[in-house]
Structure 1
Amino acid sequence: MLASVVVALTVIAGLVMPTFANAMRHDPVATPLTTLELPLPSLSADQTSAADQATAGLAGAGMLPGGAADDWKIVRVRAGQSLADIFHELGLSPTDLQRVVDAKVDNGAFRRIHPGDEFAFKSAEGRLTALRFDRDDKTRVVLAVDNKEVRSEIVERELERRVHVAHGTITSSLFEAGDSAGMTDAMTLKLAQAFGYDIDFAQDLREGDSFTVIYNDVYREGERLRDGDIIAATFINAGKRFTAFRYESADGTVSFYSEDGRPLRTSFLRTPVEFTRISSRFTSGRMHPILGKMRAHRGVDYAAPSGTPIYAAGDGKVLFRGVQNGYGNVVILQHGGRYSTLYGHMSRFGNVKQGQHVNQGQLIGYVGMTGLASGPHLHYEFRLDGQHRDPLTVTLPKPEPLPGTELATFRSLTTPLLARLKLYEGTRLAKAQ
């Protein structure tokens, strides 16, 4: 009986409570709205014409609803895909493709397409009527196709570079600090490359090191297109301050320079290969692992997997490319009159020939273990006036600074940037304190 009474009371409460709750709720009083018809100022004849032209242009570019761009079919090229494959997937005939190619309008853009490239198509009843693509970041080519001919129009697209200032402090890694500063990994890598001649980011980086960088991003029509360039930067490593300024010299060469106008690009790379460890150092006597007797080791051995690229340590001429006893496959470079470098035990050569000029950082071969070698590594020698020097400790020649007239131009451009970097560094230091 008690259970029946409880159930009955519960049912009654369920019926009554919603009604009670609604009774306590007050509907908001609707606020009356008044609509007024206000006369608009009339446009002059010139203003009316300009407005009509702007509207027509936007519609033709597909910027307005119902405009022509509603009919564009956007295709992003996939790896291994050709333009013929794209035409086939869209149901367009090989005849249309041939007409576009025969028109010889930016023909190279059709024959050398790359993954990620974009093409846009318009068609009617299975027949191509228009095609567009970007020749470069700021130039778009639009082709109109009809029964008689293929017409082309070049559309210039304005690019905008937006400048940013970022500051980072190393806690775990350079890329983590760059990410915390709002930089992309690609921009952080550019920062590392700018200072790569002065700082070994694999071994010299310390917790508490910091950087301040001025860089830009490239925008097109209000949308971010890609990373731009490092404009100026400072890096404090182990208490030592380094500067880098991007500058285009009179001959069109773009490089990074210190604030005194000296190129950061040194005459020689300290290490011409990405190595895992130093397996043997420069010494006047060591036990040879193959011959089993003491002999001098006049270079440094950098252990690395077979096939690891080897790069020219500096600008020079290929003095020798071939096989020598002990060295196996070897390349010897002559750098001016006093310096030469040797690269031994290569598995194979790069695309270089004897007598050819090579640039610093150019691929010249691959790590191997030809000749007298117990494992894959690069044997690297550095010679000054024919005498062997320890590549790890030799004092490398400093590059010459910019000449007088160009140095003045450089300083006029970089002085405001240097002041901005110092101001930002000072502000950050004050906040930290």
Structure 2
Amino acid sequence: MTTDHTGTPRPGPQRRERLATLREAILRRPVLARRLPDGFNGRWSRRQWMQASLLATMGMLVVAIVPGFNPKPSTPAQAPRQSMALALPPLPLSRAQSPQDDSWQIVRIEPGQTLGGVFEQLEIPATTMYRLLDHPGVKEVLTRLRPGTELAFDLPVDAGLRAIRFDRDDTHRVKLSLAGDTITETLIERPTQTRTRVATGEITSSLYVAARKAGLSPATIVRMADDIFQYDIDFNSDIRKGDRFSVVFEEVWREGERIGTGDVLAATFTTGGKTYSGFRFEREGKAEYFTADGRPLKKSFIRMPVQYARITSGFSRARVHPVLGRTRRHDGVDYGAGTGTPIMAAGDARVQFVGWKSGYGRTVVLDHGKGNTTLYAHMSRFGKYKVGQRVAQGQTIGYVGSSGLATGPHLHYEFRVKGVHRNPLSVTMPPPEPLKGADLVAFRAHAAPALARIQQVESVRYADARPAPEQAKGGKTKA
């Protein structure tokens, strides 16, 4: 072996030949590929087969799921269709304005809101408001606005008030148009409809709650309690859970909206195993309520001349007077109530006396005819009736007080028959005369449809309840 000039040994000729031969052999030896060539060589690997199968499966799923890929979509069977025409009530004017009326602004009066406040809110000058109030018939309406009243203002963009619209009453709407110093009034007729409705309910807590739940307005509840059943039912003590009532009454509608209630045409009330009924009927131009057999519900005298009062002292032949301290007769009944509570006339009468009457204090005496008189004492002030005037049953003749010999506010009530004192709570009065002849025939024809409607509604409402008692003579029923 030889060395170079640095002293490093160099391979000999024979060794160089062997290395060259070995290198040539290595270069010529076939080598296995570690990865697929860029071009297809005619055979697929296992990985390529797996990828192709996955892509084919995904393609079939897409074709099966997406409707757009289906070349022959199935046509669903056409289901039969039916159409029905429904009659709809007309829209209120405030909801059916034409496109040219888009400058109208509707304001509903809130509690405590005034006309001046509305004009200020809409930035309308107060001088314009005073001009409108000077127009005939406007001040009486716009200065007595109640919550819920609707006012409409025509206020174009970048312009002042062009018109105002309001309801004068239930059937008339007024439109005032302003043009310079001129105000033009247009009266719009608003026709109303009267519909008859039947409501029924069962008392669970109180009559008022049950009646409101049945859809009766407060005014209708008062008519039922005070005008029809006040002579037969004490709504303070007779009412109990499970009592039923039904009412046929009128509703007033305008342009598809209910704006109020009208007369109560008929009513029934079941309590204590009895059913009381009342039907409205006009006789000689005067509307009254009668039982099913034509007897007036209105008695000659009401039971209590003061509503929602309590008896503090009954009729007695002898008692110790709370002021004088000695024993004396008490020829009447005392009803305790707050000062200022209205006192009603017990029956139709003529005023016999109004003034101060010794220990009675402020007193009113009524003459009911046939020797019957009633006395009302200890009033705080009198009503509007004077001596000699006629007064109808239920009219206010004075107010509860404590004038005269009294320890507190109450009404002292006496009933006399030909000058003799009788107990107002037990005295028997002759019943009123029933309808006869042609009046009775007309009444029965008038009452039959209302009674049929009540029975129809109750048969549906109380179908699963205990059967209602059968009708008995005189408008009452027995269980």
Identify whether the pair has TM-score above 0.5, normalized to the shorter chain.
yes
Aligned residue pairs total 385
* 1:299-340 per-position Cα deviation (integer Å, ceiling 9, x unaligned): 000111222221222222221111111101111112234222
2:272 counterpart (238, 247, 251)? 238
| Aligned twin of 2:105 | 72
The residue that corresponds to 1:373 in the other structure is 406
Specify whether residues 29 and 199 from structure 1 end up closer, same or farther in structure 2 by C-alpha distance, changes over 3 A only.
Answer: farther
Partner of 1:207: 241
Matches within 5 A, 1:120-139: 120-124=152-156, 127-139=160-172
SS at match of 2:464: helix
Q: Verify the 8 A CA contact 1:311 1:362 in the aligned structure 2.
A: yes
Relative to structure 1, the CA distance from residue 80 to residue 169 in structure 2 (aligned partners, 3 Å threshold; closer, same or farther) is closer
Distance 1:128 1:146 in 2: 9
Provide Cα deviations, 1:39-82, integer angstroms capped at 9, x if missing partner.
xxxxxxxxxxxxxxxxxxx999762463415423424264473x
1:292-331 equivalent positions in 2, closer than 5 A: 292-331=325-364
Q: Which amino acid aligns with 1:122?
A: D
Q: 1:218 is matched with which residue: 239, 252, 259? A: 252
CA contact (8 A) 1:311 1:363 kept: yes
SS in 2 for 1:369: coil
Q: Distance in 2 between matches of 1:59 and 1:226?
A: 16
Counterpart AA for 1:347: S
Compute the RMSD of aligned alpha carbons: 3.3
User: Letter of the aligned partner of 1:91 in structure 2?
Assistant: E
Assess, with a 3 A threshold, how the Cα gap between structure 1 residues 61 and 293 changes in structure 2: closer, same or farther: closer
| CA deviation after TM superposition for structure 1 residue 290, in Å | 1.6
Distance 1:69 1:330, change over 3 A: farther
The aligned amino acid for 1:215 is F
Single out whichever of 198-207 and 421-430 deviates more from structure 2. Answer: 421-430
Match of 1:346 in 2: 379
Give the match for residue 289 of structure 1.
322
**Compared with structure 1, are the counterparts of its residues 151 and 427 closer, same or farther at alpha carbon in structure 2 (3 Å cutoff)?**
same
Gaps of 5+ in 1: 1-22, 35-57
Larger relative contact order, structure 1 or 2 (CA cutoff 8 Å, min sep 6): 2
227-236 vs 295-304, greater mean Cα deviation: 227-236
Q: 1 CA distance for matches of 2:400 and 2:229?
A: 26
Q: Describe the SS at the equivalent of 2:140.
A: helix
Task: State which of 129, 132, 139 in structure 2 corresponds to 1:97.
Answer: 129
Identity of aligned residues (%): 45
1:166 and 2:210 aligned: no
Cross-structure match for 1:15: none
Q: Given the superposition, is the C-alpha separation of residues 196 and 390 from structure 1 closer, same or farther in structure 2, using an over 3 Å criterion?
A: same
Kept after mapping to 1: 8 A contact 2:191/2:254: yes
Residue 186 of structure 2 corresponds to residue 153 of structure 1: yes
Residue 467 (structure 2) pairs with residue 431 (structure 1):
no
Compute the displacement of 1:134 (Å). Answer: 1.1
For the residues of structure 2 that align with 1:396 and 1:163, how far apart are their CA atoms? 36
User: TM-score when scaled to structure 2?
Assistant: 0.71
**Mapped pair 1:192 → 2:225:** yes
Offset of 1:343 from its aligned partner? 0.8
The answer to whether 1:144 aligns with 2:177 is yes
Alpha-carbon distance in structure 2 between the residues aligned to 1:61 and 1:182 = 26
**Pair 127,249 (structure 1): closer, same or farther in 2 beyond 3 Å:** farther
Residue 174 of structure 1: how far off its partner (Å): 1.6
